[in-house]
Amino acid sequence: MDGLKDYIEWLGGVDFSAKPFGEVDAVILCLISYFDLGPAEADLPGEDGQAPFYLRDCLKAIDAGKLKLRITGGEDGNLGVFKAAAQSERFGSLAISNYVDRLEPENDLQFSAVTFSFGSEWSFIAFRGTDNTLVGWKEDLKIAYTQTEAQKLALSYAVDAILPDVRPDAAEKSRWQSFRKVFFRRSAQEKQSPARRWYIGGHSKGGNLALFAACQLEGALLDRVERVFNLDGPGFAPEVVDEALLKRIDAKTVRIIPEYSIIGRILENSMSDTRIIKSSNEGFMQHSIASWGVDHGRLAMSELAEPKDRWLNETIKKWVSAMSFDDRVVFIDELFGALEATGAKTVDELAAKGKEAAEIISKQYKGFSEPTRRTLGDLQSAAIESALKKLLSEKDTVLDSTKKVIADGTKKVISGIGSKAAEAAETIMVQIQLQKKGKGAE
């Protein structure tokens, strides 16, 4: 099975006029959106982002090691794909504009977006998924009970980007300049175009943002959107987004999930065009789009009728449905309050603190409210129960698959911050068991 880099090497000399934009191209651009493009802008001539900025202009910063990957889970080949794309004619000639990177811990906000354009023919808005900050992971869980700041900004971003093509008299100066960390105005080669086609996409949380923005665009703007790509991104609680809004974009939406999908099945909404693809990774790590397979120029489709992880999805559904609206708010605030008490700002920092962080989290647990304690206990019990069901139904793959599912799945659901925080989550689990037995924590 080929990968994304193989696709680039195969089609690197073929521009989008010869082979139109497709699903694999969307995946590659969403992968690139995980990199901080700010340092590449510093290498451009001129001031205020007025110089044309192309993907190939990132090469110098890539070689110098300046472009940081804002993602949890390791490099996993992302940089190799990015560099191959920047070196190719197909991707290297794409213009980059309207890059925004905003992190506000005090507002539980992590948001980043960028627009890639092929002349005046089409533009692709890529929303970044969750980075490795605890703020980003907390915001992910907040979609269970509210509209997040990132979702609201995603809608505004899409409106600001598309509006000038619909209304030529729209102001050239975007509202993003007022708060941006890095911002690129539309460059000369991509001025307003009445014929421009728009694509919107994102991976993980970015897929959720893409759906949120697209489904709420007014008619004239939505008419300009040709396709929406949700790459293993979570859905919406019915209290947050009306199902009728999603039906507006169903015919335009492509939902892609790997064989083992966890994030993409949280609060999942039914989409007519849902595809299951193969990955070179196992278990939860199939979430990494750098591992997604390619077959003859298209994503490598799986023969499965539904993902392998249905049991874990049922666990997540039980968690959400069993909690009241108010309990969801308290649970997330208390859980991440304990994590933030360690002083860590990112998942990597939390992992580096090791036992020190685990001890702090354990102390914080003692002050958790009864609903939060109950939820953590229910999550653990439900996950174990589901794992046992899987064990009994798949006797041929008994121990290895179940152990991996529990390690890669249960801890991630409970901690909500990825595998690198598993040690801290495990401490909480042990504490729960001790208290259930009436022993308490020593």
Cβ contacts of 111 within 8 Å, gap of 6 or more: 100, 101, 102, 103, 128, 149, 150, 153, 154, 209
pLDDT of amino acid 376: 76
Position 277, amino acid: I
| DSSP reduced 3-state for 417 | coil
CA angle 132, 203, 329 (to 5 degrees): 60
pLDDT of amino acid 331: 80
Spans of the chain below 50 pLDDT:
173, 176-190, 395-399, 402, 406, 410-422, 424, 439-442
pLDDT of amino acid 167: 78
Within 10 angstroms of residue 388's Cβ, the number of other Cβ atoms is 12
Picking from 90, 49, 75, the residue whose alpha carbon sits closest to that of residue 173 is 49
Task: Read off the pLDDT of residues 185-217 as tens digits, 9 standing for 90 and up.
Answer: 444 344 567 779 999 999 999 999 999 999 999
Q: What is the pTM of this model?
A: 0.78
Q: Where are the alpha helices (DSSP H) in 23-88?
A: 23-32, 38-42, 59-63, 78-87
pLDDT of amino acid 321: 67
The answer to whether the beta carbons of residues 114 and 199 sit under 8 Å apart is: no
Q: Which stretch of DSSP H or E encloses residue 350?
A: helix 347-365
* Domains present along the chain, CATH in parentheses: 4-308 (3.40.50), 311-436 (no CATH)
Picking from 161, 407, 137, the residue whose alpha carbon sits closest to that of residue 284 is 407
pLDDT of amino acid 183: 38
| Cα→Cα distances 218→6, 9, 202, 209, Å | 39, 39, 20, 16
Partnered with residue 230 across adjacent β-strands are 202, 255
pLDDT of amino acid 417: 44
